[in-house]
Amino acid sequence: MDYNRTYDVLDRIEAHYNKMSKGHKKIADYIRNHYDQAVFMTAAKLGEMLEISESTVVRFAAGIGYEGYPELQRALEDCVKGKLSDMQRIDRKYGKSSQSEVLLSVMQADIEKLQHTIENLDAEAFEAAVDAILDAETVYVMGLRSNEPLAGFLQFYLNMIRRNVVLLNTTSVSETFEQMIHIGEKDCFIGISFPRYSMRTLKAMEFANDRNAKVIAITDGVHSPMNLYSSCNLLARSDMVSIVDSLVAPLSVINALVVSMCLKRPQEVKRNLEMLEETWNNYQVYLNDEINFIDDEPMLNYSLRREKQENE
């Protein structure tokens, strides 16, 4: 694996941005907003347009992990090609399809991803992940960009199963480290990342690994860079059928994690849910903003009807 070419150039810029000099930030801002134009510029041309020296542009490339400006330019080419190929793939696959055909095609593709995940998921790694999450003092969960809903979903249900669950969500690597500064060997870190992989998530996993925490990766394959620092890899297929990431298989794996943890700690889960339900009832959390059904009728103004029944 070519470490220097694995990550999207925009992710690299984002990861280093806070520590950049004023001149480097100027370059970074231009590339982030106009990478489709920067790809055609030499270091001298880019420097001339931004009114900075060519050597500053070259140092910028080195500063975000490239051997030189030519390698940065090739990474920009990969970025542009990726955007173009996404749109071309959509047009080839669905351009002449009816809406119902698109629906069936997308759903069938998701079914295939689930089947592939079932056939390739490591059962021992899955069991080890369940035990690591349940036994940890604190669990840190991180998933950024299109993976953020997966991380939020997992954190939501982990909170119902156990204490001390931290959802890491920040635009800065330094802030991420600040949030997990106390992580140690008794803790667990869950990193969720699918193409295009997040450098921030990878750095957080590296930090957790250096602190001897148990690191779990939820990612797409054996060649994912997320596996570099994890001792437990849960692989779920997530090929894109369009510009939208397919999260069906990863979400199913997360569902299985939650169910397995509930089965291993049934009494604790029951106690937590009873405590939560009692809190909902005491503070009437759901009575005014959700509709439930009782005896096949909507629970509208249920608090008023219950009060009337109690007074009869």
Q: What is the CATH number of the domain that holds 197?
A: 3.40.50.10490
Q: Is residue 109 part of a domain?
A: no
Do 241 and 209 lie in one domain? The reply is: yes
User: Are 132 and 188 a contacting pair, CB within 8 Å?
Assistant: yes
3-state percent breakdown (helix, strand, coil) of the chain, nearest 5 = 65, 10, 30
Do 56 and 70 lie in one domain? The reply is: yes
Domain range spanning residue 278?
A: 268-311
Residues 6+ apart with CB under 8 A from 167: 141, 142, 151, 152, 155
Do 243 and 276 lie in one domain? The reply is: no
Q: Is residue 111 part of a domain?
A: no
How many residues belong to the chain? 312
Could you give the CA distance from residue 191 to residue 188 in angstroms, rounded to a whole number? Answer: 10
pLDDT at 206 over 80: yes
Going by pLDDT thresholds of 50, 70 and 90, the confidence category of residue 112 is confident
Q: Do β-strands 165-168 and 139-143 pair in parallel, antiparallel, or remain unpaired?
A: parallel
Tens digit of each residue's pLDDT (9 = 90 or more) over 269-278:
788 777 877 7
Q: Is residue 258 part of a domain?
A: yes
Do 67 and 173 lie in one domain? The reply is: no
Q: Is residue 222 part of a domain?
A: yes
Tens digit of each residue's pLDDT (9 = 90 or more) over 4-19:
344 578 778 878 888 8
Do 256 and 280 lie in one domain? The reply is: no
Provide the number of structural domains found in the chain: 3
Tens digit of each residue's pLDDT (9 = 90 or more) over 230-253:
989 999 988 654 555 678 899 999
